[in-house]
């Protein structure tokens, strides 16, 4: 069947987010061509991946006033957002409670949904490793994931202990039932609509903080050595940023600066000369910490942010079509990560 809005994705989002948010998301985001056909009641992995991505984009906008304002203005002007990728941070550490360490916590979700690793990027200046995950069914149109792992063993013993203190009793958001449904999805490529309805809120909920309120003393230790780990202490595995793919990121940067928006000073250039990125500075949020006396203290910390990317295309002579450069760049990524580091305090 054909529908301007994929009916399965629409039904999943209506139940999860409600009519108003669902309509707004369909009016805002690009629609992958692979979802132009659908079968009533049988949800493909691409449909479930797109529904999850749309819900995660909505969650990012709820936490980023700058991103929300940009998106609203783009739609009001008759435009839309081409959701290029979402980024999240993890910690590869054996002492992470019930949560699998690092990227493993999300590989078990992304693989059944049809994503595969599309590149590895050493982020050595940050003590991290990043990996891109692209969707097999529509790598150019279903938003990628950039999943980074922080390596505490590269930092001091005090830092490692603080990491354990913060994430050592993390919850596992995946229930046995959800894990079973993911296994079925990986095996069959589809799920009944009722099962997809059951699974979607669980996997969306995995992109959040799975540990309790951090102690302020631990936060201070982490902040001295890694603004990225300090960010994870307060925000967990929530989207660090979501990215709009635009035709000319240089013009967009100039336009946003002219409006007085909190833009990154310079656009990041990849070594290939084919990928260009910039971003707003992170929105400031208020988070609670456990004080030394057992009480609760609130302080302002960097939250998530909104990014922009331009990707060059080349003509594939064998396939007779234009191909988008879907790679990332370690230098670009480390520059973009500073959008949260610069305001950590």
48-76 pLDDT, tens digit each: 999 999 999 999 999 999 999 999 999 99
Distances (CA, A) of 28 to 8, 31, 204: 18, 9, 19
Residue 79 has pLDDT above 80, yes or no: yes
What are the boundaries of each domain within the chain?
7-341
**What is the percent of the chain where pLDDT is above 90?**
86
199-256 pLDDT, tens digit each: 999 999 999 999 999 999 999 999 999 999 999 999 999 999 999 999 999 999 999 9
User: Among 179-193, 242-256, 327-341, which is the least confidently predicted range?
Assistant: 327-341
Assigned architecture for domain 7-341:
Roll (3.10)
- Token pair, residue 10, equals 């629409």
Q: Give phi and psi for 331, each to the nearest 5.
A: -65, -45
| Predicted pLDDT of residue 294 | 94
Confidence of residue 332 (pLDDT cuts 50, 70, 90): low
Residue 340 has pLDDT above 80, yes or no: no
Nearest 5°: CA angle at 144, between 140 and 148? Answer: 150
Residue reference for tokens 């992995």: 45
Residue 146 has pLDDT above 50, yes or no: yes
Residue 2 has pLDDT above 60, yes or no: no
| Predicted pLDDT of residue 271 | 83
162-175 pLDDT, tens digit each: 999 999 999 999 99
């Amino acid at each position: 069947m054909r529908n301007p809005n994929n009916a399965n994705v629409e039904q999943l989002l209506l139940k999860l987010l409600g009519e108003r948010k669902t309509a707004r998301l369909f009016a805002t985001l690009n629609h992958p061509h692979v979802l132009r056909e659908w079968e009533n009641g049988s949800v493909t992995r691409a449909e479930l991946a797109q529904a999850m991505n749309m819900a995660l984009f909505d969650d990012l906008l709820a936490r980023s006033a700058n991103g929300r304002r940009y998106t609203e203005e783009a739609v009001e002007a008759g435009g839309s957002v081409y959701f290029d990728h979402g980024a999240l941070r993890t910690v590869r550490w054996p002492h992470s409670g019930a949560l699998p360490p690092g990227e493993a916590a999300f590989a078990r979700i992304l693989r059944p949904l049809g994503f595969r690793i599309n590149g590895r990027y050493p982020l050595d200046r940050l003590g991290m490793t990043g990996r891109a995950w692209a969707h097999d069914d529509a790598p150019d149109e279903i938003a990628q994931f950039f999943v980074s792992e922080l390596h505490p063993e590269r930092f001091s013993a005090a830092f490692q202990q603080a990491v354990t203190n913060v994430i050592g009793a993390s919850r596992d958001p995946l229930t046995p039932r959800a894990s079973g449904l993911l296994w079925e999805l990986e095996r069959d490529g589809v799920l009944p609509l009722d099962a997809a309805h059951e699974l979607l809120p669980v996997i969306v909920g995995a992109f959040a903080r799975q540990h309790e309120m951090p102690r302020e003393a631990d936060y201070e230790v982490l902040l001295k050595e890694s603004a990225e780990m300090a960010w994870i202490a307060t925000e967990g595995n929530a989207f660090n940023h979501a990215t709009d793919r635009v035709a000319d990121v240089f013009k967009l940067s100039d336009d946003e600066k002219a409006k007085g928006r909190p833009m990154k000073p310079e656009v990041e250039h990849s070594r290939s000369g084919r990928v260009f990125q910039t971003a707003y500075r992170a929105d400031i949020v208020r988070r609670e910490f456990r004080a030394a006396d057992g009480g609760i203290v609130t302080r302002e910390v960097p939250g998530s942010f909104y990014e922009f990317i331009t990707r060059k295309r080349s003509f594939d002579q064998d396939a007779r079509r234009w191909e988008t450069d879907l790679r990332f760049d370690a230098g670009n990524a480390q520059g973009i990560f500073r959008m949260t580091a610069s305001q950590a305090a």
